[in-house]
Amino acid sequence: MKKLFINRNKELENEIEVYLLSIHNATLTFNEGVGDYVKNNHKRFQERIDKLIDIERQADDQLKDLKYKLYKYNLIPDFSGDVLALLDSLDDISDASKQILIQLSIEKPNIYDYLKDDFIKLAETSLKCVETLLGGVRGFFSNSKAVEEIVNRVYFYEAEVDKIEEVLKRQIFNTEITIELSERMHLRYFINKIAQISDTAEQIALKLSIFKLKRNI
């Protein structure tokens, strides 16, 4: 009987919060990393990559531990599927952030001066989108009424990212500066990759609003 009332839930509650902080740190580092790359701060950019790899590894370990505990102790049996789907999707964000920085360091696309501001803005708005989403995830766990409003803000930031993405692509393909088509496509590839972070956030937000509805007794 004593075992029945051991509060593993509190332990797991803290671990979920730590995991959400890891995802937040990963996107903050990603944003700083993009800024450093665009501004040609190569040494700091490499440090950001190393840090992001480290954060991502930690987040992976935390996620594995969360999954193990949720199933081993059969916590929140009627919501464990939803919670794991949510946490797994968040891992996609940190994973994508890491991959983008690594690919930037390998492929070294040339970010022209006239594109730099919008590139940074693209990363910053993606960060805002993810930060807002994380607030929504916390709201889902605490049964906050604000979840729907937060989800709406995620949609808003995602739409902003789409606008910046379009502006950037138009600037790349309509410029009078002589750039090889392959280089234009290379830049477009990275813009798509960065914009995908907010797309992922939008998909998670959609799941979140459904899970929130299911939380009602």
Partner 1 sequence: MSFTLGSIVFLSAGLFMGWSLGANDAANIFGTAVGTKMIKFRTAATICSIFVIAGAVISGAGASHTLGQLGAINALAGAFAVSLAAALTVFGMTKQCLPVSTSQSIVGSIIGWNLFAGVSTDPVILYKILSTWLFAPLLGAVFAIIFYCAINFILNRVEIHLLRLDNYSRIALVLAGVFGSYSLGANNIANVMGVFINVSSFGDIYIKDLFHISGIQQLFLIGGIAISIGVITYSKKVMLTVGTNIFKLSPVTAFIVVLASSTVLFIFASEGLKMWLIERNLPSFPLVPVSQSQAVVGAILGIGIIKGGRNVNFKILWKIAIGWILTPILSLMISFVLLFLVQNVFMQNVFLK
| Interface residues toward partner 1, by CB under 8 A | 1, 4-5, 7, 9-10, 12-13, 16, 74-79, 83, 140-145, 215, 217
Q: CB-wise, 75 or 179, nearer to partner 1? A: 75
Q: CB-wise, 37 or 211, nearer to partner 1? A: 211
Q: CB-wise, 83 or 161, nearer to partner 1? A: 83
Q: CB-wise, 110 or 216, nearer to partner 1? A: 216
Beta carbon of residue 78, minimum distance to partner 1 (angstroms, whole number): 5
Tokens for 177, please give them. Answer: 């500066």
Beta carbon of residue 50, minimum distance to partner 1 (angstroms, whole number): 33
Tokens for 74, please give them. Answer: 């059969």
* Torsion over CA: 135, 90, 162, 41 (sign): positive
Using CB atoms within 10 Å of the CB of residue 32, give its burial: 0 to 12 exposed, 13 to 18 middle, 19+ buried. buried
What is the C-alpha separation between 162 and 166, in angstroms, rounded? 6
Tokens for 137, please give them. Answer: 């995830």
Tokens for 189, please give them. Answer: 């590839």
- What's the distance, Cα to Cα, between the start and end of the chain in Å? 27
CA–CA distances in Å: residue 123 to residues 25, 120, 179, 208: 14, 5, 23, 23
Q: CB-wise, 3 or 43, nearer to partner 1? A: 3
Beta carbon of residue 59, minimum distance to partner 1 (angstroms, whole number): 19
Beta carbon of residue 91, minimum distance to partner 1 (angstroms, whole number): 19
* In the block, residue with structure tokens 């950037």: 168
* In the block, residue with structure tokens 């798509």: 192
Q: CB-wise, 10 or 43, nearer to partner 1? A: 10
Beta carbon of residue 100, minimum distance to partner 1 (angstroms, whole number): 32
Beta carbon of residue 92, minimum distance to partner 1 (angstroms, whole number): 21
